[in-house]
Amino acid sequence: MDQLLGILLNVFFFAAIAGMFVLVIRMFISSNKEDKRIRQGWSELGRFTAEHGWTHEQRARGQATRYCGVGPMPGSGSGLSAWHHITGEFRDRAFASFEYRAVNASGDLGEGKKRPIIHTLLMVSVPGSGPATEILQPSKLNVLLDRRPSIRLGIPEFDEKFRVVTGDEAWVRNLLSDSVVSFLLTDPRAKRFELELRQDELFTWYKGTLSPHALEEGLNYLCDVLDRIPTQAWTAA
């Protein structure tokens, strides 16, 4: 009996070791595929932007600093680089987009290198300006870390799915017309792209790198939102 138990333990031990090796190999293959996809997206940006007559800088030093406080950006900083900084015109609106890379202290790549945490920010110009406003996805972590008061529109489905932060409730009620609310509740992109209005620009962002597809998708989403905002909302600001 003891001999059988020993054999079984050895079998389980070697099976566990083999399973770990398989898992490591799969993670390695998956990581390589993801790195290849990311690098392909980067390599296509130059051609894609040139075809549209847009500007593309692989690294624009200091350009990201002016966006401190927006979305995933730090609250303050200086000399922050905007990676794959792209500017131009899309659907008759001026736009800009870039990657912001923050060092991940736990993502050690060896030889003193750290894997960065990458977020992509996209912004388009708006036909006026208004009070700072954010339309966010509510979460327990968000509520714990962000103590700012939010407003409720009185539309149960919308109030459940979105958290609106602003200092001017009357302005937001003009901004979030029935058309905008209906669009945000039904368009699947609204689950992935949060929104922030600051001065004369509307922003969105996501965690990940920039690619031609992601650029077009994000810009189309911002423009689709703006197309539904009533003209009088900007004059009432």
For residue 25, how far is the Cα from the chain centroid? 30
> Can you read off the two tokens belonging to residue 180?
């905008």
How many CB atoms neighbour CB 127 within 10 A? 12
Put simply, whether the predicted model's pTM sits higher than 0.75 gets the answer yes
Report which of 109, 116, 105, 149 is spatially closest to residue 38, judged by C-alpha positions. Answer: 116
In angstroms, the first-to-last Cα distance of the chain is 83
**Sequence-ordered strand ranges (E) for the chain:** 55-60, 82-90, 93-110, 113-136, 163-166, 195-207
Q: Output the pLDDT for position 3.
A: 64
CA-atom Rg of the chain in angstroms: 23
Please tell me the distance from the alpha carbon of residue 133 to that of residue 143, in angstroms, as a whole number. 17
For CA atoms 159, 162, 163, 164, the dihedral sign is negative
> Can you read off the two tokens belonging to residue 148?
């700012």
> Can you read off the two tokens belonging to residue 202?
């509307």
Report which of 172, 129, 126 is spatially closest to residue 149, judged by C-alpha positions. Answer: 172
Q: Output the pLDDT for position 115.
A: 77
3-class DSSP state of 94: strand
With 0-12 / 13-18 / 19 or more C-beta atoms within 10 angstroms meaning exposed / middle / buried, residue 237 is middle
One digit per residue, the tens of pLDDT, for the chain of length 237 reads 556 555 655 555 454 454 454 344 344 434 444 555 555 656 789 899 999 999 999 999 999 999 999 999 999 999 999 999 999 999 999 999 999 999 764 444 444 456 789 999 999 999 988 899 999 988 655 556 667 778 899 999 999 999 999 989 999 999 999 999 999 999 999 999 999 999 999 999 999 999 999 999 999 999 999 999 998 888 866
Report which of 68, 64, 56, 60 is spatially closest to residue 80, judged by C-alpha positions. Answer: 64
